Amino acid sequence: MEKCLGELQIAENGFREEDEKHCKSSIKTEGLSKKYRNFQLQGVTLEVPAGNILGLLGRNGAGKTTVMKLLSGHTRKSGGKIWVAGYDLDREPISAKEQIGLMLDEPMFFETRSLWENGVAFGKFYPAFGEDTFRKWLSVFRLKKSDWPGMLSKGDRMKFQFAFALSHHPKTLLLDEPTGNLDPVFRKEFLELLQEAVEEEQIGVLFSSHLTSDLEQIADGVALLEQGELLYCDSMEMLKSRYCLLKGDPEMGKRLKMSKEPGILGIQVSRVGFEAMADLQNISDNLRSIMESAVQEEVDLSKWMYYMIKH
């Protein structure tokens, strides 16, 4: 298991160094688990410091939404511990949930009441909710106060959730596939607004997405789930420095594939060449020699995820 976010080596792993006021974690779990009949989330331990964005990756069914629902209190865990902005979710559930802003891919509001009525009604559960702030964000997202959630497209539903979340000044944001239904133009605007909010209010964000290009733009760290198990959790800088792609001619690829080097986490060989992903923390003298003749490229999240899961 790799070091997770928020431990003593945050600065070494490339995270922004915060003063003592902001060192408290926005999200922290230890041994988080959930058992279903046909699925089990197994001992997930991670941490997101205030002012950082952790991208949560995994295939469909890997457990990303389960993690989100456990952290938000929508689903009861089978084991482990959860802290939100320093509050124990078991012992101080009200205080913990007041610190959480949510964007989930499911109905969260009254379908036949206006956006304004919904905001005011649900805002009563959050001491920091402000009507003026809510009005501002509805305007930013070009949403009409009189519209109903049931009238909105999926994209506009997500915009409304984000507007409401920002209106009660959360210390933690749980975003489950927030950009999947947004058009490319607004998706870019959304990511910019998110980064500004994180920086200005020192929010810790867990951002689940299958759009790896979005996470590459904004994530400080990456966590990878596969079949309920946390395969990886570390900073984006560490990921980029530890893994790389190797490319070359097919003969080199065949030799590399036959060598079964432990530092090669995956390889594909075709008639025109090969591509492999190398773990630079686990290379032998033989692999180092081969790498001198191969083309080395920075790995992107999409290919990194593919090779990590297939390994």
Cα(216)–Cα(194) distance, rounded to whole angstroms?
14
Residue 190 pLDDT > 70: yes
pLDDT band at 281 (very low <50, low <70, confident <90, very high): very high
Residue 302 pLDDT > 50: yes
- Which amino acid, residue 228? G
pLDDT at 106: 78
Among 10-19, 152-161, 269-278, the range scoring the smallest mean pLDDT is: 10-19
User: Looking at the DSSP assignment, which residues form a beta bridge with residue 83?
Assistant: 28, 88
Extended strands (E) in 18-98: 25-35, 40-49, 53-58, 79-84, 87-88
b/e 135-161 (16+ beta carbons within 10 angstroms → b): eebbeebebeeeebbeebeebbbbbbb
What are the pLDDT digits (tens) for 55-100? 999 999 999 999 999 999 999 999 999 999 999 999 999 999 999 9
- Which amino acid, residue 8? L
User: Looking at the DSSP assignment, which residues form a beta bridge with residue 79?
Assistant: 33
Cα(16)–Cα(84) distance, rounded to whole angstroms?
20
- Helix (H, G, I), strand (E, B), or coil: what is residue 272? coil
Rounded mean pLDDT, 237-245: 96
Cα(307)–Cα(40) distance, rounded to whole angstroms?
23
Distances (CA, A) of 47 to 3, 8, 57, 205: 10, 11, 15, 10
**pTM score of the predicted model:** 0.88
